[in-house]
Structure 1
């Protein structure tokens, strides 16, 4: 399931599986060599964004940068690294119809790269 926005309930359900607990669910976004790729997901929940997670796998060598935004307002900007998880605490409100956008910039001339992204949401009534 290539999903970016996860509620606490959804994470609890999927994390019951031992294999998933070792590798938490992330939405995957791939950028070809020397390109920018944008992925968007429309929110189906109302609540508060509590955490934004970006995973940069081995081999990206600071050649891949990721930005995550909510309705064009930045949640996480231009994260780079190699074989790293970046986790940012947040307290932004999200509602049905809001758009989470992930922008991946790949400056690598030889390889495409896939990053992992997750936006955690605590649902409200």
Structure 2
């Protein structure tokens, strides 16, 4: 995603923290660079994933709340997050996600080939 300058990280609300770790750490292979608490709710984790250096634009963080009701889309919400990978690695990622039983389809984002999954 060349041209995306200035974005440091995206923070999402998630469900079960172990499922979050299993997916982002175990399946996608992101690095868990920090686990702290939500400053507004110290009983809740704040999970930080990023590259080794914490490079701006590589960080994705989560506040897991396992007992929240199902989400509802609303005004001003981000409904999709894109993680950039080299285009030549899409076959590898497609096979890896299929091995873990993750449903996906081929698509396009920002004029580039993409793998789309929930």
TM-score normalized by the length of structure 2:
0.24
The structure having more radius of gyration, on CA atoms, is 2
TM-score normalized by the length of structure 1:
0.23
Q: Looking at secondary structure, tell me which structure has more helix per residue.
A: 2
Q: Looking at secondary structure, tell me which structure has more strand per residue.
A: 1
